[in-house]
Amino acid sequence: MKESKVYNQDCLKTMSAIGKEKADLILTDPPYNLGLFMKNRDTNINAMRSNHFAGSGWDDLDFSEWKDYMLKFFLSANKVLKKKGNLIIFMSLIKVETVIELANKANLYYKTTGIWHKTNPMPRNMNLHFVNSTEAWLHFTSKSKTGIFNNNNKILHDFFETSNIKNSEKKEGTHPTQKPLEILSFFIKTLSNKNGLVIDPFMGSGSTGVAALNNYRKFIGGEIKKKYFNISKKRLKKISAQLNLF
Ligand SMILES: C[S@@+](CC[C@H](N)C(=O)[O-])C[C@H]1O[C@@H](n2cnc3c(N)ncnc32)[C@H](O)[C@@H]1O
């Protein structure tokens, strides 16, 4: 929509460009701090595939640097969110406790930890261990214990299941950790209203922005890597033209 914007810059710069109490929903998927963890376990990333996140270079902070950075992110998130604004952050299950501790330090109100289950994950090393098919998502609210919650009187479980990302979406985003539009749309419709402002300062290939515009919300996003910033811009321009937003 007209007021939507994307920046090719560090997350914290994007957050400070937005200003105080502007956002209805922050929906984001930051680095999970798994890059070094996987390298230290001698995971043969090249043998997995060339486009794997652990070899991408954007998830290589050590744990304490990552924690310091994420605390700054949460502090800025609490400034940028309106009173009763919502925050959803995707995360690996092994980092859930750390994320809750950091967000609490930033005075965000913890609501829920949920699971995203992928019904058809890559069956990597399926004869050696349990195949990874889950990620966590955490829900917080800002300056209030409740926020917008458009459940239309239905019981919403803390569990969301999708198949892996559709080929048509993957072709447009080509990001190693690209999220399906289905789950992003679900959070956007439930936790914000039409014309509300959705933010994703770690937008990768811009999936949150595509889902926000599809659902008639405004979007501000940021991405540090030029390659993914350009992909996001292209996807968002295409969807804006399709929806006749400009
Ligand atoms: C998990 S991916 C997001 C993928 C996205 N959900 C999608 O569907 O394409 C995280 C993204 O954050 C970016 N990133 C890493 N550190 C950043 C920082 N300090 N500021 C902004 N973006 C950053 C990475 O380049 C990567 O594209």
Q: Report the distance separating Cα 94 and Cα 37, nearest Å.
A: 11
Sign of the Cα pseudo-torsion (169, 173, 174, 179, in order): negative
Between the CA of 205 and the centroid of ligand 1 the distance, in Å, is: 8
**Residue 102: its pLDDT value, please?**
98
**Residue 50: its pLDDT value, please?**
53
Order the strands of the 109-118 sheet from edge to edge: 5-7, 218-222, 197-200, 23-28, 81-91, 134-141, 109-118, 159-162
**Residue 45: its pLDDT value, please?**
55
pLDDT in tens, 132-191: 999 999 999 999 999 999 999 999 999 999 998 999 999 999 999 999 999 999 999 999
Spell out the residues 6+ positions from residue 146 whose beta carbon is closer than 8 angstroms to its own: 84
Q: Report the distance separating Cα 138 and Cα 67, nearest Å.
A: 16
Between the CA of 7 and the centroid of ligand 1 the distance, in Å, is: 12
Ligand 1 pocket by Cβ (under 6 Å): 10-11, 29-31, 58, 173, 175, 177-179, 201-202, 204-205, 207, 222-225, 228
Q: Pick the residue with more confidence: 56 or 234?
A: 234
pLDDT in tens, 115-131: 999 999 989 889 999 99
Provide the 8-state DSSP code for 55. Answer: G
Which of the listed residues 36, 166, 223, 236 should we mutate to test ligand 1's pocket, taking the one with most ligand atoms within 8 A of CB? 223
**Residue 93: its pLDDT value, please?**
97
Which residues lie across from 221 on neighbouring strands?
Answer: 6, 200
Between the CA of 227 and the centroid of ligand 1 the distance, in Å, is: 11
**Residue 34: its pLDDT value, please?**
85
**Residue 46: its pLDDT value, please?**
57
Residue labelled with tokens 């569990």? 159
Domain boundaries 5-242, CATH class: alpha beta
Between the CA of 27 and the centroid of ligand 1 the distance, in Å, is: 12
* Pick from 84, 53, 69: nearest CA to 174: 53
**Residue 57: its pLDDT value, please?**
79
**Residue 1: its pLDDT value, please?**
54
pLDDT band at 47 (very low <50, low <70, confident <90, very high): low
**Helix, strand or coil, per DSSP, at residue 240:** helix
Mean pLDDT of the chain: 92
pLDDT in tens, 83-106: 999 999 999 999 999 999 999 999
**Orientation angle between helical segments 96-105 and 63-80, nearest 10 degrees:** 50
Between the CA of 225 and the centroid of ligand 1 the distance, in Å, is: 8
Which amino acid is located at 83 in the chain? K
**Residue 48: its pLDDT value, please?**
52
Q: Give the atom of ligand 1 at the shortest distance from the alpha carbon of 223.
A: 22
Q: Give the atom of ligand 1 at the shortest distance from the alpha carbon of 205.
A: 9
* Distance from chain centroid for Cα 62: 20
* Distance from chain centroid for Cα 110: 17
Q: Pick the residue with more confidence: 37 or 69?
A: 69
Mark residue 195 as left, alpha or beta (left: phi above 0; alpha: psi -120 to 50; beta: remaining).
Answer: left
Between the CA of 127 and the centroid of ligand 1 the distance, in Å, is: 32
